[in-house]
Structures are given as structure tokens and as C-alpha cells.
């Protein structure tokens, strides 16, 4: 049996979005400006990974986030993969992350030949828990020669990757301090948090490197795309080199000095993103207004709404509610989707997937609770 107010929530969503047909969870918004820049790119014939729109986009995304450097990639997973390599993640090492995340987080770790180690998330921020991280390191880690090792496996702990879940910043300042104490490079999975700030600083700029996604369901998109952001000039140069097949610059010769990756964003996608960036602040304001409407409705109807954490301003990429138990969660998901209103739970916890089930994991009490209670609501720009 579903609470009447949850059925009313579905009707409220349909009314808010003025939608009588299928309502997706998050869809892109395009207009004539996108068509104008894409056609200009097509007419220029520079549609692949070299072109002025790539340069323009990289400058704009660096300026927007406050990073000194940005390197455009084909997607967020590629950005995270290369960021981990540049942070020193190597085969046989371990990377601390969270189980409540999209599969790309652990895929990127696996591409490096490393193994994820799962700590719990914080129930308020939905991101990696500073307490769980500290508990894990106190129990399992030691530092030698300014490097961190797992005293049970003897493997090096080569990085920590917190994720800013649904655009809500985690307590990245506390996580950074813990990582510095234990000599662990910090790489931020900021795939979902473009436009989100913590203590007036953009997510993705606290760590050594940050990875952003521009997938089709993100706040701005080119159908795909990603970016590495960093304050370190040498890391930026290495990122640009690695993502361009490690090709040594030359007018005509094809010389490569190491194994590289064909990860650079095409100029065609960058043109689309340059147009999208022009509207980013408008989109964020619109999404924050939508979140306020959801929050007000939830407060009036005794439904728990996931609000932005303290000291943070979230882009509210995806709005979320917490229901009474897993049965109510599943009943609401079935009802809403049958009514044409797309809703979804959080991802299946990564430590329960077959390829990661044998990886070391701290107790996942908060992550488990969120996986059984949380539901994402439609969050497109209205």
C-alpha cells in the first residue's frame, strides 16, 4: 500500500513539468545557439579532436571552476582514468572510494590495474564519509617513505576517490586533510557536480585532479564528453599528452613516446558544450528553484527530502527523497514509472557486484540504508 501523499507527489511532478506523456529523469535542453555553433564547426571541417572550440571550451571550463588548467576528454570515465594514472595509481595498488557510486568510478580504478577499497558514505552528503575513511586508515594503514600502505595486504594505497553524489558536495575539506595526513593523493570524481561549490570553492579543485562528465544526462552535455581539471601545470601537460595518444608534436611525423589514449574530445562536441556553457548559470538557478519546490512540498507532506549539505551550494543535478523502507521505495518506483514519471533508486552498491564483491570493504551501513530508501525524482531544467 502506497501512502496517498506519494501518489500526490507523482501528480505534483506532472503538474510542475506540465507533462502528460512520459517524463524522463533528466533530459538535455538545446536551442538555436547549439545549432549555430555546431554548424559553424561543421563548416570549418575541424570536427575531430583538434579545433578552436576545444581550446575555447577548455579555457571556459577552467575559468568557471577556478582551475588553472582543463583538458577536454571524450567522457568522464576517460577523465577519471587518466587522472588516476597521473596521481600515481598503478597495477597492484589499492584505491579508496565509495560503494554508492556509478560503475565508472570503479571501472576507471580497474583500468589502472588497481583494486577499489570501499569505505562508507555520509548519510547527509551522500558522499564518502570522512569518519569511515579515518577509521579504515587507522585500522589498516601505515606510512613509510611518505607513501601509504595497507598493513594487511602490503599493497600501496595509491589514491582516494570521493564522489560528489547527485551534485551534492561531500566534506571534501576533511577528506583532503585526512589524505594529506596519510600521504594519499586525492582525486575527485566530480562527474555530477559541475556548478556545485563547497566553502565557496568549486568541486573538483580540492584534490590533485578532478574529473567532470558531460554525458547526455548531465546538467550540460554534448551527448558525451568529460574534462580533467587541475592546478598543476606539469600534470596538465601530461594529461594533454596522454589523452592525445602520447603523440610527440610534429607537423607531419607520427612519433609516440609512451602508451597513450585516444581520449581527446572532438571539436564538434566542444562546439555544442561552448553553447551549453553560456546557459549554465541559468540552468543551475532553474534547478535550484525546482529543488526548493520539491523541498517545500516534502515538508508539507511528511516526506524526507535530500537537501544540500552545510557549507555547500549544490547544483541539484538529481533531486532525491528518502522513503520509509525498501518496500515503500519499490512500491513508489513501480507506481511512478507506471504513471510515466521516471524515477530510480541509487545505483547497486559497487561492493556487491560480482567483479568487486571480494574487494576490501568497511561496514556500509549508510550506503545500504540509502540504497534501500532513496529515490531520484525528475530533475530536468524546466
Whole-number pLDDT of residue 354:
98
Triad 339, 340, 346: Cα angle to 5°: 100
How confident is the model at residue 19, as a pLDDT? Answer: 84
Q: Which of 11-15, 134-138, 249-253 is least confident?
A: 249-253
User: What fold is seen in the domain 4-28+280-351+359-377?
Assistant: 3.90.1150
pLDDT for res 358: 97
Q: How far apart are CA 221 and CA 211, in angstroms?
A: 15
Query: Which residue matches cell numbers 607513501?
Result: 147
Answer for the pair 26, 287: CB distance below 8 angstroms, yes or no: no
| Per-residue cell: 86 | 597521473
CA separation for the pair 228, 189 (Å, rounded): 10
Which residues, in sequence order, are CB contacts of 164 under 8 Å at separation 6+?
127, 170, 172, 188, 189, 190, 192, 193, 196, 203
Chain segment 28-80, per-residue pLDDT in tens: 999 999 999 999 999 999 999 889 999 999 999 999 999 999 999 999 999 99
Partners of 70 in the β-ladder: 229
- Tens-place pLDDT, residues 175-207: 999 999 999 999 999 999 999 999 999 999 999
Sheet holding 187-189, edge to edge: 69-73, 226-230, 209-213, 187-189
The backbone region for 302, taken as left when phi is positive above 0, alpha when psi lies in -120 to 50, beta otherwise, is: left
Cβ pair 219, 191 in contact under 8 A: no
Query: pTM of this prediction?
Result: 0.96
Tell me the backbone φ, ψ of residue 163, rounded to 5 degrees.
Answer: -120, 135
| Residue-averaged pLDDT of the chain | 97
- Pairing relation of β-strands 197-198 and 147-150? unpaired
Domain ranges of the chain: 4-28+280-351+359-377, 32-279
Here the cell at position 183 is 600521504
Interval 227-232 mean pLDDT: 98
Identify the architecture of domain 32-279 in CATH.
3-Layer(aba) Sandwich (3.40)
- What average pLDDT does range 107-120 have in this prediction? 98
Amino acid at each position: 500500500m502506497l501512502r496517498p501523499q506519494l501518489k500526490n507527489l507523482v501528480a505534483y511532478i506532472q503538474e510542475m513539468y506540465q507533462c502528460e506523456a512520459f517524463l524522463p529523469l533528466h533530459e538535455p535542453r538545446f536551442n538555436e545557439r547549439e545549432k549555430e555553433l555546431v554548424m559553424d564547426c561543421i563548416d570549418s571541417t575541424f570536427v575531430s579532436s583538434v579545433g578552436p572550440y576545444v581550446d575555447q571550451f577548455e579555457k571556459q571550463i577552467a575559468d568557471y571552476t577556478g582551475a588553472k588548467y582543463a583538458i577536454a576528454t571524450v567522457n568522464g570515465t576517460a577523465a577519471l582514468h587518466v587522472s588516476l594514472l597521473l596521481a600515481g595509481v598503478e597495477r597492484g595498488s589499492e584505491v579508496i572510494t565509495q560503494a554508492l557510486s556509478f560503475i565508472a568510478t570503479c571501472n576507471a580504478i580497474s583500468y589502472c590495474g588497481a583494486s577499489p577499497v570501499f569505505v562508507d558514505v555520509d548519510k547527509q552528503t551522500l558522499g564518502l564519509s570522512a569518519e569511515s575513511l579515518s577509521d579504515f586508515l587507522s585500522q589498516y594503514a601505515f606510512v613509510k617513505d611518505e607513501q601509504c600502505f595497507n598493513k594487511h595486504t602490503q599493497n600501496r594505497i595509491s589514491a582516494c576517490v570521493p564522489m560528489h553524489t547527485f551534485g551534492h558536495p561531500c566534506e571534501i575539506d576533511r577528506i583532503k586533510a585526512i589524505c594529506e595526513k596519510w600521504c594519499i593523493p586525492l582525486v575527485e570524481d566530480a562527474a555530477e557536480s559541475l556548478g556545485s561549490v563547497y566553502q565557496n570553492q568549486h568541486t573538483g579543485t580540492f584534490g590533485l585532479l578532478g574529473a567532470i562528465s558531460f554525458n547526455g544526462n548531465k546538467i550540460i552535455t554534448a551527448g558525451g564528453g568529460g574534462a580533467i581539471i587541475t592546478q598543476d601545470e606539469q600534470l596538465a601537460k601530461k594529461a594533454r599528452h596522454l589523452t592525445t595518444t602520447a603523440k610527440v608534436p610534429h607537423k607531419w611525423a607520427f612519433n609516440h613516446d609512451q602508451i597513450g589514449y585516444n581520449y581527446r574530445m572532438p571539436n564538434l562536441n566542444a562546439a555544442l558544450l561552448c553553447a551549453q556553457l553560456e546557459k549554465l548559470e541559468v540552468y543551475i538557478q532553474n534547478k535550484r528553484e525546482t529543488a526548493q519546490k520539491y523541498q517545500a512540498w516534502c515538508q508539507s507532506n511528511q516526506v524526507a527530502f535530500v537537501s544540500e549539505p552545510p557549507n555547500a551550494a549544490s547544483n541539484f543535478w538529481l533531486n532525491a527523497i528518502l522513503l520509509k523502507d525498501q518496500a515503500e521505495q519499490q512500491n513508489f518506483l513501480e507506481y511512478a514509472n507506471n504513471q510515466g514519471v521516471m524515477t530510480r533508486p541509487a545505483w547497486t552498491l559497487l561492493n556487491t557486484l560480482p567483479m568487486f564483491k571480494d574487494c576490501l570493504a568497511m561496514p556500509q551501513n549508510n550506503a545500504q540504508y540509502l540504497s534501500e530508501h532513496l529515490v531520484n525524482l525528475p530533475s530536468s531544467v524546466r
